[in-house]
Amino acid sequence: MIPIMRKSKRTDRMTAKEASHERIVSAAARAIRRSGYDGTGVADIMKEAGLTHGAFYAHFASREAMLAEAAGRACAEAAAVAADAAASMPPEQALTYMLQAYLSRENLAQIEQGCPLAALGSETVRQAPEVRRVTTRYIKEMVDLVARQSPDWGQAGAHERALVTVATMVGTLLLARVVDEPALSDNLRESALKHLPIT
């Protein structure tokens, strides 16, 4: 009976540590999209997660390790949203729906939950290799998801159109967020939707 009690206490500690880790990564994934990599500090993340600054090193070897995991979480969340959008529509409507959702006013305003490429793209090149690797994997996933919506999926043309589509989606969202004129922001989004290769 005593070994069972010890095991239970250890399991409870692990569960508490896992829950704390989850809070840190979730807070960091939101923070990097909101404030950028350089604007995301350990003390602020730990405070947002409801933990002490000193507890950080029980979860991560370094700030860079936290940023890499946060980038992975942000990318995974965005990829899941895109995949769910595609799966929710008939195949012939999936790409149009994905593009409209990605370039919507709602997504424009959701920086903390939105695509990390549009929020962090220009900063990523100066980050640790782990962050760049995670981002590269996400870009490939997005290109593949878009290509799979094409009637000629598997052929070179579908992949090339998907590359252009993803680059246009991300660039448009980034520019639409940057400008301080709502009409110009709307024009950027609407023009991209008009000219993207929708199947």
The total domain count for the chain is 1
Contact 188, 177 (CB under 8 A): no
Q: How far apart are CA 28 and CA 70, in angstroms?
A: 5
Nearest in space to 103 (alpha carbons), one of 9, 196, 8: 196
pLDDT of residue 4: 47
| CA-closest candidate to residue 111, choices 125, 121, 98 | 121
Q: How many CB atoms within 10 Å of residue 57? A: 10
Residue 5's pLDDT is what? 47
CB atoms within 10 A of CB 122: 9
Model pLDDT, residue 190: 96
E strand residue ranges, 99-164 = none
Domain CATH for 50: 1.10.357.10
Separation CA 109–CA 42 (nearest Å): 25
What is the model's pLDDT at position 136? Answer: 95
Tens digits of pLDDT across the chain (199 residues): 444 445 555 566 668 889 999 999 999 999 999 999 999 999 999 999 999 988 999 999 999 999 999 999 999 999 999 899 889 999 889 999 999 999 999 999 998 888 999 999 889 999 999 999 999 999 999 999 999 998 888 888 899 999 999 999 999 999 999 999 999 999 999 999 999 865 5
At 11 the pLDDT is 62
Encode 40-53: b = buried (16+ Cβ within 10 Å), e = exposed.
bebeebbeebebee
pLDDT at 77: 92
The per-residue pLDDT for 154 is 83
The amino acid that residue 57 corresponds to is: Y
Indicate if the alpha-carbon torsion angle 43, 49, 55, 60 is positive or negative: negative
Q: State which residues form the domain around 121.
A: 2-195
